């Protein structure tokens, strides 16, 4: 199968470069030129061929250094860099589909191994270079170091998320890319309308997870988002609709009591949707697939309130005190990262809101999201 992949890349080399470059340009938002994007695609495909033929990753050393210089000048995030590599898979995928004698899953497996190793080695180079930069800055400018240290002291927990986001993005991003590729293959080949609809739902949720990973990477930096005047009821309904498809929903009954005519709030709907989905999924985990999950909205003169209540295992006071700490989790190893509620807390805080938790062991928990009513509200 490796030889099939090598022959396919050689045969369609120029076409792959063209496809890859086209996919890169909208991702980069003019951070690098079209010529640089094409050169990256060309050098990357050449090194992939060298690695496949030699079964040796040491040949990639100079390639990684050259691209580190390019990415640093363009100020690309580690997630953006991961996406640059990932688009290589998508560029080769149509060629695999057009050849009925190939098994795209097996061939993609070889390709995934190469790209994962390349990205892992780039990540090591990136980390080493950043550490050296910090040491140089520390010697050159002690005032700047003190300023940075003050920032860390003010938001230490969020800084931890930022430091580890690259690893999280890589661990989640690569499997997502493979899953997404396979879903697209199945969508193109499926003639069953029901299966096609379900695959579309899967693809939508993959895209949503990708957005969440991107937000996580940018979490410790000033985020770019568009604040809108929005009726939060629509966001709640969307979140509940998403979660109802979760595999953890077995015998869970959803009860919603959504107040009509809620005042609008100033939010980024996608980010608030992420918060609701995170909290709903945590509630499902606590309920272990059985119970009643209640979602209620209300408001007063100053705030809109959303209560998410479950009758799951509940938490004691010690756990409640730590529930929003980065990487704190009560789940089994491998079942949770402890990032979801921490990210949710940060998002709500950005919009001048609060999250409160009340919980009783063996009874259940209530998460209350509080958002200020917009002063621009037109419903008063």
Q: Looking at the domain assignment, is residue 377 inside a domain?
A: no
- Give the range among 28-42, 142-156, 252-266 with minimum mean pLDDT: 142-156
| Residues 96 and 172 reside in one and the same domain | yes
Least confident of 107-111, 287-291, 308-312, 320-324: 107-111
Same domain, 329 and 359: yes
Q: What is the pLDDT of residue 153?
A: 45
- pLDDT above 50 for 139: no
Looking at 167, 192, 217, the residue that finishes a domain is 217
Position with higher pLDDT, 251 vs 165: 251
- Name, of 153-167, 175-189, 244-258, 341-355, the range with top average pLDDT: 341-355
Whether residues 141 and 260 fall in one domain: no
**Both 106 and 174 in a single domain?**
yes
Residues 170 and 106 placed together within one structural domain of the fold: yes
Residues 331-368 have pLDDT tens digits of 654 455 566 787 788 888 888 899 999 999 999 999 99
Mean pLDDT of 301-319: 92
Does 66 score more than 50 pLDDT?
yes
Q: How many domains is the chain built from?
A: 2
pTM for the predicted model, two decimal places: 0.47
Residue 250: give its domain's CATH number: 3.30.565.10
- Domain encompassing residue 180: 2-217
Q: Are the C-beta atoms of 215 and 343 separated by less than 8 Å?
A: yes
- Please check whether residues 328 and 271 belong to one and the same domain: yes
- Specify whether 246 is located in the same domain as 201: no
Does a structural domain hold residue 76?
Answer: yes
pLDDT tens readout for residues 169-180: 656 766 777 787
Antiparallel, parallel or unpaired: β 265-267 and 228-230: antiparallel
Q: How far apart are CA 82 and CA 66, in angstroms?
A: 16
Residues 6+ away with beta carbon under 8 Å from 6: 49, 52, 53
Domain boundary among 179, 194, 217: 217
pLDDT beyond 80 at 224: no
Structural contact between residues 87 and 23, judged by C-beta atoms closer than 8 angstroms: yes
Question: Do residues 195 and 326 share a domain?
Answer: no
Are residues 52 and 126 both part of a single domain? yes
Give the best-scoring range by mean pLDDT among 139-143, 274-278, 281-285, 298-302. Answer: 298-302
- Asked if 304 and 357 sit in the same domain, the reply is yes
- CA distance linking residue 364 with residue 335, whole number of Å: 20
Q: What average pLDDT score do residues 120-124 get?
A: 70
Is residue 168 domain-resident?
A: yes
């Amino acid at each position: 199968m490796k030889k099939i992949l090598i022959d396919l890349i050689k045969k369609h080399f120029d076409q792959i470069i063209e496809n890859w470059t086209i996919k890169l340009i909208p991702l980069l938002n003019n951070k690098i030129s079209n010529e640089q994007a094409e050169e990256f695609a060309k050098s990357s495909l050449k090194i992939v061929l060298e690695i496949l033929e030699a079964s040796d990753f040491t040949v990639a050393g100079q390639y990684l250094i050259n691209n580190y210089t390019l990415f640093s000048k363009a100020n690309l995030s580690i997630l953006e860099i991961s996406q640059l590599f990932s688009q290589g898979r998508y560029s080769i995928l149509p060629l695999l589909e057009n050849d009925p004698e190939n098994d795209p899953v097996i061939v993609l497996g070889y390709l995934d191994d190469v790209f994962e190793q390349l990205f892992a080695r780039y990540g090591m180079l990136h980390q080493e270079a950043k550490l050296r930069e910090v040491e140089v800055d520390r010697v050159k400018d002690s005032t700047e170091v003190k300023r940075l240290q003050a920032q860390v002291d003010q938001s230490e927990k969020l800084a931890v998320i930022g430091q580890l986001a690259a690893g999280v993005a890589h661990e989640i991003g690569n499997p997502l890319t493979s899953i997404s590729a396979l879903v697209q293959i199945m969508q193109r080949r499926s003639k069953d309308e029901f299966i096609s609809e379900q695959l579309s739902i899967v693809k939508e949720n993959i895209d949503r997870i990708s957005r969440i990973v991107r937000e996580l990477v940018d979490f410790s930096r000033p985020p770019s988002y568009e604040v809108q005047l929005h009726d939060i009821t629509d966001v709640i309904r969307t979140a509940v609709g998403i979660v109802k498809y979760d595999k953890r929903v077995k015998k869970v009954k959803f009860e919603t009591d959504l107040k009509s005519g809620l005042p609008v709030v100033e939010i980024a709907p996608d980010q608030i949707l992420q918060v609701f989905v995170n909290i709903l999924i945590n509630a499902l985990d606590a309920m272990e697939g059985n119970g009643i999950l209640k979602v209620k909205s209300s408001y007063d003169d100053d705030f809109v309130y959303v209560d998410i209540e479950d009758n799951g295992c509940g938490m004691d006071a010690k756990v409640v005190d730590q529930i929003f700490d980065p990487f704190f989790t009560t789940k089994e190893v491998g079942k949770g990262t402890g990032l979801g509620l921490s990210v949710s807390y940060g998002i709500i805080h950005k919009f001048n809101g609060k999250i409160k938790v009340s919980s009783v062991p063996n009874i259940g928990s209530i998460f209350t999201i509080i958002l200020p009513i917009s002063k621009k509200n037109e419903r008063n």
